[in-house]
Amino acid sequence: MEISDQLLCLFNAEVTVSDDEYVVRVPTSEIEAGDVDPGEIYRVALIEREDAGASAESSSLSPSDATSSTSASTAGSTTGEGPQPPVEEGEIRYVEIEDIGKQGDGIARVERGYVIIVPGVEIGERVKVEITQVKSNFAVGETIDDDADDADA
C-alpha cells in the first residue's frame, strides 16, 4: 500500500453516530503535537482493522489537496499489533527539516510520514539527531554536533 508523503497523522478511531452524522474523533494529541488544525478541511481515509472481529475502523488524515492515490495503513499500538514506529529511542538519524510547528520546533518526516520533532532548527536544514522520545505517532529528536563525533575519532 502506497503512503503519501503528505500524510499528516495516523491514528486509530471508532466511527460513531451523532445527530444523524457519522463521526471520527481526532485525538487531542494530534491537534497539540501534529500539523492538524481545528476548522481546516482534510482528506480522511478509513481502513478496516486487520484483527478479526473488530468493528472499529482506523482513520488517517491527509491534506485536502493530496492526490487521489493517498492511502494509509493502520497505526501501531502498544500491544504489538500493526506497524510500529520506524525509529527507536537512542537511534541516530540524519533528517531534513520540512516545516516548523506552532511551538517553533522543526518537523521532519521519515518512513510512512512518521514525524520527528526537532527543537532549535530551521526549515531546509539537514541535521543529525538522536531520538530521545518515541510515541506511536511522533518522536522527539535532539540535534547532535557532527564536530563532536569527529573529535572522538
Q: 43 pairs with which residues across the strands?
A: 62
Check if the beta carbon of residue 76 is closer than 8 Å to that of residue 85: yes
C-alpha cell at 139: 518522536
pLDDT tens-digit readout, 101-131: 888 999 999 988 899 999 999 999 999 999 9
Give me the domain span that covers residue 113: 92-152
What letter represents residue 144's amino acid?
Answer: I
Q: CATH number, domain at 118? A: 2.40.50.140
For residue 120, what are the contacts with CB-CB under 8 A and spacing of at least 6? 105, 106, 143
Task: Clarify whether residues 51 and 2 are in a common domain.
Answer: yes
pLDDT tens-digit readout, 21-70: 888 888 787 777 667 788 888 888 777 766 534 433 333 443 333 322 22
**19 lies in a domain?**
yes
* Stretch (H or E) spanning 102: none
Domain boundary among 36, 57, 81: 81
Domain count within the chain = 2
